[in-house]
Amino acid sequence: MYNLLIRPFVRKMEKEKASAVAFKYFKFIGAVPGLRQFYRLVHKNRSFGIDREVFGLHFYNPLGLGAGLDRKGEMSATLEDLGFSFVEIGPLDAESTRTAIANIQKQPYEDIVAACIDADIITSFSLIYDFCDFFVIDFPDTLDEQAVDQVLNVRLTYDEYKPIVMRLPESMTEAELHKTLDNCMYSGIDGVQVRSLEHVKAVYEYTKGRLPIIANSHIKTPSEALELLNSGASLIELRSGLVAEGPSLVRNTLNFLEKELANNAKG
């Protein structure tokens, strides 16, 4: 249905407008009785043999939805039915965090939900801590150790430990990247999120695989997803590809990964 009704139009739109149209479509799915169950059956997010443990959480496949589509946590449960093992909501500031919490309470989710925070970091993080499973934080300055320590200290006030992932900007120099990665490993940051294949390779090589990587790099094909995983990514995210291609990209990617990763294990 997406391929027929939505895809021909969103491919001609600018990115944010296309995302808004796709969002309305997926919101419609969540509102129609039976459609969510149908999508879960068709897209089978509990794929066989490609589950993994990353920073202490169990993901039954490595594919997630990147931030920017479900900005306020309105449809995390519906979007998981498309095949994603986790959904990243946001980016959030203090105001949208309060809205997201209200939405999550209205529609509890079954799978893993991450919160992307890019403003009012301490307030937003403190408010939503009890409502999400891990956090992707876009620090204004990744080299500001004091800002990182503030977030880590807030985490110590909660009984349950939850992972914190640092989003890395694309514009970092090699020296800045290495210093940031050193700080992450020394301070207790649980992982990093990067936006390109080159950064996946650079982070994996420098950290020797000790720091989990989430790759959010505009994946458009299943083979691109596999290349990211083979290059060191622990998890991968779709967003623009989902908007442009529709839910079939999720299903095709998972089927491809099942086959290829199984072959790699045998070989």
Can you give the residue ranges of every domain in the chain?
A: 2-266
Instruction: In whole angstroms, give the CA distance from residue 217 to residue 145.
Output: 26
54, 191 contact by CB (below 8 A): yes
Does the pLDDT of residue 46 top 70, yes or no? Answer: no
- Preceding amide of 91 cis, omega within 30: yes
Summarised one tens digit per residue, pLDDT across range 111-144 is: 899 999 999 999 999 999 999 999 999 999 988 9
Instruction: In whole angstroms, give the CA distance from residue 53 to residue 99.
Output: 30
Phi and psi angles of residue 194, each rounded to the nearest 5 degrees, phi first: -125, 165
Between 50 and 1, the higher pLDDT residue: 50
Enumerate helices (H) and strands (E) in the chain, giving the number of each: 13, 10
Instruction: In whole angstroms, give the CA distance from residue 184 to residue 173.
Output: 16
Average pLDDT of the residues in 215-223:
91
Please give the biggest Cα pair distance in the chain.
53
Coil, helix or strand for 53?
strand
* Contacts (Cβ under 8 Å, ≥6 apart) of 195: 168, 170, 215, 216, 217, 218
How many Å is the Cα radius of gyration of the chain? 18
Instruction: In whole angstroms, give the CA distance from residue 267 to residue 133.
Output: 34
Summarised one tens digit per residue, pLDDT across range 80-99 is: 778 889 999 999 999 999 99
Q: Residue 244's pLDDT is what?
A: 84
Instruction: In whole angstroms, give the CA distance from residue 234 to residue 253.
Output: 15
Does the pLDDT of residue 188 top 80, yes or no? Answer: yes
Between 220 and 41, the higher pLDDT residue: 220
157: confidence class by pLDDT, cuts 50, 70, 90? very high
- Could you tell me which of 219, 247, 236, 224 has the C-alpha nearest to residue 54? 236
Between 1 and 242, the higher pLDDT residue: 242
Share of the chain above pLDDT 70, in %: 90
Does the pLDDT of residue 215 top 70, yes or no? Answer: yes
Average pLDDT of the residues in 23-50:
69
Coil, helix or strand for 146?
helix
Q: Residue 39's pLDDT is what?
A: 64
Phi and psi angles of residue 100, each rounded to the nearest 5 degrees, phi first: -65, -40
Which CATH number is 2-266's, of 3.20.20.70, 3.40.50.300, 3.30.200.20, 3.40.50.2300?
A: 3.20.20.70
* Range of weakest confidence among 15-19, 174-178, 210-214, 216-220: 15-19
Indicate the pTM of the whole model. Answer: 0.91
13: confidence class by pLDDT, cuts 50, 70, 90? confident
